[in-house]
């Protein structure tokens, strides 16, 4: 089933993403002390050099396991997390991105997970290939200009924190449409936009589930869909209060059903396991072809 054949490939700087033929996997590399999922590398109180080495080791493993993207984040986005300055955030992610760019194949796509243009600019200078903005270009007006000037793709997310919701699916579509309009107005090419419904960002458990069940309705926006459900709190609550580290099977269910409902990219903490889920789901949903 070639559901996304109407979406043109995304091409830039030697990279090509062909939509509809397969689901891409984005591996999460958190360089934070307080990640909700417990995987933040700085939680280990490592020296700076050791921290970078550990991030590179993790990233290499993710690429070997099948990740196309690596998403590098230096600030926790969990509810109640303390905001940090752009200088502090850049100080966390830039050395890691520079080391990854020097260590990984050129085909590996490095994404900077930030909503601050100053951080994104330094990350792109260090070798990042794209931007993942959890505020959908709305927090920092300079972000859209930066993405346009650097000619890089950007993931725009629907963030419902502080938003007066009425009906979750239409609210998310409306918010994403606003981000798309802002991006296009700033000169970002249509083909460079990826949308993310923002599972867990300002939503109730029931709203998270509704949005996942009706994910395919986001196709009306005409852009590839990134789904980030990995280890999210609604999985823990549904499974009886499981901590983040024990949400693997629940995550697998959301990934499989997400692909069935239209996801083009899945953002995950556990690349090896989720790559297996992706391959099996793609064989069912998109059609089987023998691959290594």
Catalytic hit among 267, 272, 276, 279:
267
Longest pairwise C-alpha distance within the chain: 48
* Residue 287 CB coordination number (10 Å): 10
DSSP one-letter string for 123-160:
HHHHT--EEEETTTT-S-THHHHHHHHHT--EEEE---
What stretches of 97-232 adopt beta strand conformation (E)?
109-113, 130-133, 154-157, 193-196, 226-227
Tokens (6 digits) for 55 = 């991030």
Active site annotation includes 151 = no
Cβ atoms 135, 144 nearer than 8 A: no
Catalytically annotated residue among 213, 232, 247, 272: 232
Number of Cβ within 10 Å of residue 146's Cβ equals: 20
Does the annotation count 232 as an active-site position?
A: yes
Positions marked active-site: 232, 267
């Amino acid at each position: 089933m070639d559901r996304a054949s109407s979406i043109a490939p995304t091409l830039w700087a030697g990279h090509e993403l062909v939509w509809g033929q397969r689901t891409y996997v984005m591996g999460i590399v958190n360089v934070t002390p307080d990640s909700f999922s417990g995987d933040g590398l700085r939680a280990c109180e490592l020296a700076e050099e050791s921290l970078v080495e550990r991030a590179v080791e993790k990233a290499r493993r993710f690429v070997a396991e099948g990740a196309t993207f690596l998403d590098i984040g230096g600030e926790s986005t969990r509810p109640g997390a303390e905001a940090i300055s752009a200088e502090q955030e850049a100080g966390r992610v830039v050395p890691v991105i520079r080391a990854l760019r020097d260590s990984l194949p050129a085909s590996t796509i490095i994404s900077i997970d930030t909503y601050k243009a100053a951080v994104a600019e330094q990350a792109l200078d260090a070798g990042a290939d794209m931007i993942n903005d959890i505020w959908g270009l709305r927090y920092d007006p300079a972000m859209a200009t930066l993405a346009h000037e650097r000619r890089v793709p950007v993931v725009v997310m629907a963030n419902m924190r502080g938003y007066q919701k009425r009906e979750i699916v239409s609210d998310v579509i409306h918010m994403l449409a606003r981000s798309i309009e802002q991006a296009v107005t700033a000169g970002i090419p249509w083909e460079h936009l990826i949308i993310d419904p923002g599972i867990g960002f300002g939503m109730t458990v029931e709203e998270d589930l509704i949005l996942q069940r009706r994910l395919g309705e986001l196709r009306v926006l005409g852009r590839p869909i990134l789904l980030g459900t990995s280890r999210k709190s609604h999985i823990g609550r549904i499974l009886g209060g499981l901590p983040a580290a024990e949400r693997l099977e629940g995550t697998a269910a959301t990934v499989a059903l997400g692909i069935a409902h239209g996801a083009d990219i899945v953002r995950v903490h556990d690349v090896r396991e989720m790559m297996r889920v992706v391959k099996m789901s793609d064989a069912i949903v998109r059609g089987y072809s023998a691959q290594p």
